[in-house]
Structure 1
C-alpha cells in the first residue's frame, strides 16, 4: 500500500462514537439517518467547521439538502442539538452547532437506567428477605408479620441486609420473634449501625456483656456463647 495514502488516511482523523449513543439512540427518538447526521456534524466540528450547511452535510449522506434541513430542525426541536452564538478574536459574531444537549440527554438516560437497575436489585433483595424469614420461622409469615417487614423497609428505611443480620442475631439468641428482632433493629439504628461489619461488632459487644458473670457465680460459669459470622452467606 502507498505510504502517502496511509499518511493521508491517518491525517484525515478519526471519530470516537460513545457506546451509550449507539445503545440509546433509538430510545431517545432517533433513527439511523439522524444518528449518521449527528456523526457527520461531529466530524465537521472536529475539523474546525462548527456550523456546516445542509448542503455540506448532504454531500456526505444519501439524502438531499432539503431533507437534511428538515432533520436538523427536528434535532433542534427535540433538544438534542442546539445552535449557539460565538465571537471570534476579531469580534466577529458566528453561529455553531453544539452537541451538549445530546450528551446531557444521554446522561439522563444513563441515570434513569441506573435507577431502574437499583430498583430491580431492591425488589429482589426484599423478595429474598421474605423468603429468608419464612425459612427461619419454618412457616409462611402472617399478614401482621409481613406488615412489620414492610414497616422496617419503608418507614424505618432499614437495609434488607441489616434486617437479615438482626434475624440471625435473634436465631443465635434463641429468641425468634418479630418483637425481639424489632428491638435489635431499634438499638442498632440508635447506635448508628449501617453495615454488616458494624452489626457484627455490636453483636460481639452484646455477647461479651452477656458472658460477664456476676461476682457470686464467677467460678460456676465456664460455658461460652458461640460466635456467628454474619458475613457468611
Structure 2
C-alpha cells in the first residue's frame, strides 16, 4: 500500500523553472499567485473547480487571483480552437515568461553593458514569425546566463540559421555549440568560420532547396564540420 501511495505521489511531476522560483517575487507575484500558476501547469484544461479544490479555496477567490495576475500583466486570455472547431478561452502565462526574461536580461552581468531584452526577443520573434514559446524563452535565457554567449553572437547564429532557411531554436543552439567547441568567442571569428563553412558546403554539395527534413542534416554539418 505504501509503495502504491509513493508511486502515486511521484507520478506526473510538474516541471518548474528554478529561475521562476527564484525571481517570482521580483515579478510582483505573491505566493498564492505562484501556487495558482503551479496548479494551472498540473490541472488539465485549466479546470477552475479542480484548481480551487486543490488549493482549498473557492472558485471566486481563484478568479480574483487570476484577475490580479491580469492586472499585473502576467496573464492574458487567449482564444484556442478545439478539435471540434469550437472556440474556447484559456489563460496564458506567456506575459509572465516574457517579463521574467526581460528581468534577467536587464540585470548587469559581470559589469558588462545591460542587455536590452525587448530588442533581442523582438528580433527573434520577427525573424521566426511568431511569439517565442515559454520553452524557447528559457532556451534564450540559458544562452545568455548559463552558457554566457554574447548577445551579438546569438543574433549572428540566428542570421546563419535564417540563411539556411531553418529558424528553429534547436538548430540555432547547434550553431552556437559548434562555435563554442571551436573556441569561437567573437562575432568576427564566427563570421570567418561561417564563410569557410559555406565555401566548403558550396564545393562539396549541389545547390538544393532546404526543407524541414534537411534540418537534422544541417545540424550534423554544423557539429562535425572542422
So what's the TM-score if we normalise by structure 2? 0.45
Using structure 1 for the length normalisation, give the TM-score: 0.44
Larger Rg: 1
